[in-house]
Amino acid sequence: MLAAAAVFLLFELLTERPASYASAVAILVLTLIAAIWLAFTAVSTLRGHAWVRGAIVVWQVLQLGLAIGSFQGLFARPDIGWLLAIPAVLVLVLLFTKSVMAATARRDA
C-alpha cells in the first residue's frame, strides 16, 4: 500500500501543480524511503531475522500515531483512525507471542 501511495504521489507531482514543489518532492522521497524500508523488513521477516521485531514495533508505533491523529482535529476521520489502529494493536500483540518469537530467532553474525 505504501508503494502504491508513492506511485500516486509521483503521478500527482507530474500531473498537477503543487503549492510547494519542495514539499511535494520531500513527501515523495520520504514515502519512497518508507516503502523501501518496509519491503526490506518484510523480506527479512520471511527469512526469520531477529532484528525485524524492532523495525516492526517502530512502524506500528508510527501507525498508531497516525491513527490517534485521525481521531482528532478539524478534519478528523475516525473511520481511517480505526483502520490504522486495529491492525497496529493486533500486530504489536501478536509480535511477542511464542510462535513469532521462535520464528524470528535467527541471529546473523
46: three-class secondary structure by DSSP? helix
- Give residue 103's pLDDT: 86
Q: What are phi and psi of 49, to 5 degrees?
A: -70, 140
pLDDT tens across 41-85, in order?
999 999 888 899 999 999 999 999 999 999 998 899 999 999 999
Q: What is the tens place of the pLDDT at every residue in 15-32?
A: 999 999 999 999 999 999
- Model confidence at 108, in pLDDT bands (50, 70, 90)? low
Distance CA 86, CA 88 (A): 5
What is the residue-wise DSSP string for 1-30? -HHHHHHHHHHHHHHS--S-HHHHHHHHHH
The reported pLDDT for the residue numbered 15 is 94
Is the pTM higher than 0.75? The answer reads yes
